[in-house]
Structure 1
Amino acid sequence: MQEQNKSSFFDPKTIFAVVLVAAVWFGWQTYLTKKYPNYNKPAQKTATKEAAKTATPDAAAAAPATVEAQSTPTQGQITEKEYQFQDQNITFTITNHGMGLKNVVLNKYIDYEKKPILLGQSETDTLFEMKLLSQQKPLEFDLKEEAPGQYVGVAQVGTSTVTRTLKYDSEKQAFTNKVVVENPNEQVAQGLTFVVPEKITVPQSTSWLFPSYQHQDFFVKHNGKTETVNFSAAKENVAKQFPSVSLVSVSSQYFAAAILDKSEIIPETSVTASPEGKTAKAELIYKPAANLPKFSLEQIFFAGPKNIETLKHVDAELPAVIDHGFFEVIARPLLYVMKACFSMVGNWGIAIILLTLLVRFCVLPFAIMSAKSMKAMQKIQPLLQNLREKYKNDPMALNRETMALMKEHKANPLGGCLPMLLQIPIFFALYRVIGSSIELYHSPFYGWITDLSSPDKFFVLPILVGLTMFLQQKMTPTTMDPAQAKIMAFLPLVFTLFMLQLPSGLALYMTVSAVFGIVQQYFFLKDSKKVTA
């Protein structure tokens, strides 16, 4: 009998194991349902129906009046309320319609036409407003101001109560947003959205030769990846969806409105833009499970300049909205070096010059190697010509003997390209740094250069770029054939035209770099004459 009891299914250890497994399974299912709203969707719908049947008497009593208000255009006839806020950095008006922000002005900045910098411009939406996805209209909140910059609003959606708390931190120049939803119903489960609207203010370029340097774009971080969608240059309507989003922004080169998700429920994002209607909009969309008795959402909102220190002070993930492109691994260090130079000299133009000299000194050893290789190539040109005549009917023998000759004299035909190849990624990295650094925005240099982020209005620097490149080309010995040499001769002209529409800060970098190259080549030639003598 004892043996039978030991082997019985109903012994305490077995029962404990079954209960433990069931508890773990239930906890895991609850976590998945909360973290990934689309997980086990049919069960959610069933649970929602059951929840509706078993609603509490109080909720049922309150439901008819709320539903009636919700079904009419005047949902919740709440008196319109607005509160204004202003500090040294920002001015905005918050409205009870979605608790969105209107008339958002960055007080420390003006645009190129000396007008205030406005963010979240739209005729139909307000910045960071909250909507029901099913109705695409803002929730009507009973809005109260707890303190300047701190607001609490309560909205009824049928049996659901939505409480939103929005606080502005003047020190960080950012908002914290928290939403608590009690008794979420089917309407809420269809989706809640936060909106970042903007007008398309950058005109499309009509020239393929001179594309518009200014741009506006969406930046989305999803599934650990980042993606930038330029909507100001779009020729047709833009409409994209992104799953599992942690960060979304609508921005220009220097300013951004962004939402950084901090919720347990993972959102998705929809971005749309209409070049014809001059409108753009990003929406962060949450689709919670309807069978949850209560859930909360948390975000960080940012509306301001794309200053890397400011963004890092808000959150370590937020500097990602400064998109330095493919060469970001080079661009970020260059930005910090340039900022270090500025801290010593107090002028961004001089900081660019110091950065240029530092870059050129870093590649100087490779330039010396290149010069030696080119001298060696010039020296063996007569020998190479003899080989071509000797083995003109035997290409394999010609290649073999040519390689042997180059190895003997330590000559490399590609050696002359090495410094240029090293500078190409630096050039593109600086292109992105100078083109998106708020530090250079409206920063003067000297004389006619009053804004390093704008093109040179008198074209002095672009012309200097072309002249110095041409002079450097003439000073540099070449082993190219005449046809290649003619093509290369057009490069200074191409760069001059290219620089006409680029920031004067980048043209300054190119000019200083070319002058350094001329001085460098002068000493190389001088050293070569001494060796020959």
Structure 2
Amino acid sequence: MDTQRMFLAIFLSLAILLGYQYFFVPTPPPVTESTVVSSPENGKSEEKPSAAAPPVAAASLLAAQPAGGAGRVGREIPVTTSLYSAVVTETGGMVKSFRLKNYREDLAKDSGDKEMLRPKEGDNLPLNFSWGIEPGSIPPVVYEAAPLQEGQDGGSVLTMRGKLPSGLEIVRTLRFVDQQYLLELTVDVVNNTATPLQGAPYLTLDNRPFVKESQMVFVGPALVYDGVLEEVKTSDLKKGSKSFTGKISWAAYEDNYFFCGIVPRTGEQHTAHFSLQDETRVTTVLAGASDVIQPGQSQQYTYSVYFGPKTMGALKEAGHELERSINFGWFDVMAKPTLYLLNFLHKYVGNYGVAIILVTVLIKLLFWPVSQKGMKSMKTMQKLQPKMAKLREKFKDDKQMQQQEMIKLYQTYKVNPVGGCLPMVIQIPVFFALYKVLLQTIELRHAPFFLWITDLAAPDRLSVGFDIPFLGGIPVLTLLMGATMFLQQKMTPATGDPTQQKVMMFMPVIFTFMFLNFASGLVLYWFVNNLLSIGQQYLVNRDEVA
């Protein structure tokens, strides 16, 4: 009996203690510390946004109570324009689906429209807004959406209202503009309480890679802040999250073809915080400065949102420096004009393969005088090989005298020993610039050339009815490129010692293996350039014989 009374006393004591904690002790406000990290690229300080520090009553009011509409399941609202079809969910007011009508998932015509969002079960969705407390600290608001309205610009306007039991009301207005990928998001935060509330706005993006297969280019978060473009590698996020504080033009998730970005339109200073949730999911949080909203007053926040392709035209039309997401690195100065030229020629010929050939011809004509001089120099060097061999033999024990006699020989015949290499050195930057253009230009994605080359952005493979190990099909264009390179090597005057000549003969084989998985558009450029070089070398050799 005493034992039963003891257990009963313990049970009642615990019940009283837990009941007191639950009903009378307020939930403490969330506290995060401000962390400053250094940006290795430019030495600027980057500050991770600290959670807004509202008055204690306001923080408790926001954190202790669940989001509005907790007992209701949010509806899904379809929105369609001429460029895309989207689905917005009332749960959080977030975007669940965004399909681009002018782009397919893959080359197959029945593969369906390109889906920009690939959430897995349990993932958050893009464009979750929270105020006064960091995203994820409370469940998303379940909004009530008004009927879709027709906008003045031919698009649609979606207005959604959400109320927290605390008295805070959030009104979201999404404007979908026809013939544009840029959306306008306006959020009004209304304080219906009797207490001033202090908090900062947070807007989030959650993204996974736009395609399943790996790519040979940058994939991950990026931003422009204080005029500097920063691309954050996903591998770096595995070591820890990164934050950037300053004047942020935009923060986004991108790859070489597509772009999901948000542009803050309210306030001068913002913080973009990037973190990796698992192996592939990246969360971007864009935080603004803290505001105090008086009772009965409201605060408005405005954002522009771009979900779409990385075409120079669409990005420039959207504004906000979004075109800087097309980043060619060191070769940007040469790559951008090449891209404009490629698109300009395509307007007239209607085929990007033909446009690449024309660009190759124009580049070859531009460098024709330099190449001509280099080829003649190599031809002269070939004639001097016997004389040079005699000098090496004669002064084999006196390297200094050998060098002096060699210089006299070059001066006598007016030849530059590095003249033959100069054209190649000059063209290397152009090649890499064009390489970046052909690798990153979305215009080449699924763009056909002729016959078996149906995608200039993919490696060329001719199907033979069965899979070839490691290749799938026959890389016809790549093999032709290697063959023309070998022929060009045979026609080029042999200079240097026999060992060097043998090494050079292996170059076509090495390049062929290198180009096996390159975009067929790039292989096409190299193949045509080889043909033009063979023709030029033939003319030089013929003139020498004559």
> Residue 258 of structure 1 aligns to a residue in which SS?
strand
The residue number in structure 2 matching 1:59 is: none
Equivalent residue of 2:221, what SS?
strand
Determine if contact 1:237/1:272 at 8 Å carries over to the other structure: no
Specify which structure has the higher proportion of helix: 1
- Which of residues 424, 433, 452 is equivalent to 1:420? 424
Farther off after superposition, 465-474 or 245-254? 245-254
In the alignment, which of 121, 125, 128 is matched to residue 118 of structure 2?
121
Compute the displacement of 1:457 (Å): 1.4
The equivalent of 1:249 in structure 2 is: 252
- Could you say what secondary structure the match of 1:117 adopts? strand
| Counterpart in the other structure of 1:152 | 159
| AA at the equivalent of 1:285 | A
- 1:237: how far off? 6.4
The change in CA–CA distance for 1:370 and 1:299 in structure 2 (over 3 A counts) is same
User: For the residues of structure 2 that align with 1:275 and 1:431, how far apart are their CA atoms?
Assistant: 32
* Aligned residue number for residue 517 of structure 1: 533
- Cα distance in 1 for residues equivalent to 2:103 and 2:394: 71
Asked if structure 1 preserves the Cα contact closer than 8 Å seen for 2:360 and 2:525, the reply is yes
> 1:68 Cα deviation (Å)?
6.1
Alignment partner, residue 194 of structure 1: 204
Alignment partners' CA distance in 2, 1:188 and 1:465: 66
Which amino acid is the alignment partner of residue 406 of structure 1? Y
- Between the aligned residues of both structures, percent identity stands at 29
| TM-score normalised by the chain length of structure 2 | 0.77
Q: 1:390 to 1:243 in 2, by over 3 A?
A: farther
1:261–1:300 Cα contact (<8 Å) kept: yes
Which segment is superposed worse, 475-484 or 332-341? 475-484
**Amino acid in the other structure paired with 2:227:** G
1:318 Cα offset (Å):
1.1
| 1:75-474 mapped onto 2 (5 Å cutoff) | 75-77=68-70, 79=72, 80-112=74-106, 114-123=111-120, 124-131=123-130, 134-136=134-136, 137-145=139-147, 147-148=149-150, 149-156=156-163, 158=166, 160-181=168-189, 189=199, 192-199=202-209, 201-204=211-214, 212-213=215-216, 216-231=219-234, 239-244=241-246, 245-273=248-276, 276=279, 278-290=280-292, 295-315=299-319, 317-458=321-462, 459-474=475-490
Q: Is the contact made by 2:129 and 2:135 (CA closer than 8 Å) also made in structure 1?
A: no
Are residues 497 and 190 of structure 1, via their aligned partners in 2, closer, same or farther at CA, if it must alter by over 3 Å?
same
Task: Measure, in 1, the Cα distance between the counterparts of 2:71 and 2:197.
Answer: 20
Change (3 A) 1:106 1:412: same
The 1:291/1:484 distance shift into structure 2, 3 A limit, reads farther
Write the letter of the residue equivalent to 1:71.
Answer: A
**Structure 2 counterpart of 1:88, which letter?**
S
Deviations 1:70-105 (A, max 9, x none): 524454547424321112311111123332111211
Give the distance between the partners of 1:100 and 1:92, measured in 2 at CA: 11
Quickly say closer, same or farther: Cα 1:125–1:426, change in 2 above 3 A.
Answer: same
2 CA distance for matches of 1:200 and 1:307? 16
CA offsets, 1:379-436, max 9 Å, x none? 4334433443444344344334433432343211221112212222222222221222
Stretch moving more, 284-293 or 302-311: 284-293
3-state SS, counterpart of residue 254 of structure 2: strand
**Alpha-carbon contact 2:83-2:180 (below 8 Å) kept:** no
> Does the aligned pair in 1 maintain the 2:253–2:261 contact within 8 Å?
yes
Give the drift of 1:336.
0.8
Q: Aligned in 2, Cα 1:229/1:371: closer, same or farther, shift over 3 Å?
A: same
Q: Counterpart amino acid of 1:351?
A: A
- Cα distance in 1, alignment partners of residues 86 and 479 from structure 2: 44
RMSD over aligned Cα atoms: 3.3
Distance change >3 Å, CA 313–CA 73, structure 1 → 2: same
Q: Give secondary structure in 1 for the equivalent of 2:421.
A: helix
Q: CA deviation at 1:135?
A: 4.6
Deviation at 1:221, TM superposition (A): 1.7
User: What does residue 476 of structure 1 align with?
Assistant: 492
One-letter amino acid of the counterpart of residue 392, structure 2: R
TM-fit CA distance, 1:469: 0.5
2:529 is paired with a residue of what secondary structure? Answer: helix
Query: What is the CA-CA distance between 1:166 and the residue it aligns to?
Result: 1.7
What is the CA-CA distance between 1:234 and the residue it aligns to?
A: 8.2
Unaligned stretches of 5+ residues in structure 1: 1-35, 54-62, 205-211
CA separation of 1:203/1:340 partners in 2, compared to 1, >3 Å: closer, same or farther?
Answer: closer
**Structure 2 CA distance, aligned partners of 1:188 and 1:82?**
32
Q: How many residues align?
A: 469
Contact kept in structure 2, 1:134 and 1:187, CA below 8 Å? no
Cα distance between partner residues in 1 of 2:328 and 2:275 = 23
Question: Structure 2: any 5+ residue segments left out of the alignment?
Answer: 1-44, 151-155, 463-474
Deviation at 1:267, TM superposition (A): 1.8
State the distance in 1 between where 2:161 and 2:46 align: 24
Structure 2 vs 1, CA of residues 262 and 412 (structure 1 numbering), >3 Å: closer, same or farther? farther
Q: CA deviation at 1:441?
A: 1.6
1:507 to partner: Cα distance = 1.1
Cα contact 2:237–2:276 (8 A) shared by 1:
no
Deviations along 1:117-145, one digit per CA (max 9) or x if unpaired, are 11122232222222355351534444334
Contact 2:117 2:207 (8 Å CA) reproduced: yes
**CA 1:489–1:316: 2 relative to 1, 3 Å:** farther
What is the deviation of 1:504? 1.1
How far is the alpha carbon of 1:251 from its aligned partner?
2.2
Aligned counterparts of 1:368 and 1:334: Cα–Cα separation in 2: 23
Calculate the TM-score normalised by the size of structure 1: 0.79
* CA 1:167–1:200: 2 relative to 1, 3 Å: closer
Distance 1:352 1:333 in 2: 14
The Cα shift of 1:116 comes to 3.1
SS in 1 for 2:457: coil
Q: CA deviation at 1:471?
A: 0.5
* Higher mean displacement: 414-423 or 278-287: 278-287
Amino acid in the other structure paired with 1:138:
P
Instruction: Give the SS at the match of 1:479.
Output: coil
Report the counterpart of residue 36 of structure 2 in structure 1: none
Secondary structure of residue in 2 paired with 1:413: coil
TM-aligned CA deviation for residue 213 of structure 1: 3.6
Cα distance, 1:394–1:159 mapped onto 2, change above 3 Å: farther
Q: Supply the AA of the counterpart residue of 2:303.
A: Q
Task: Provide the rounded CA distance (Å) in 1 between the counterparts of 2:349 and 2:310.
Answer: 23
Alpha-carbon contact 1:37-1:287 (below 8 Å) kept? no
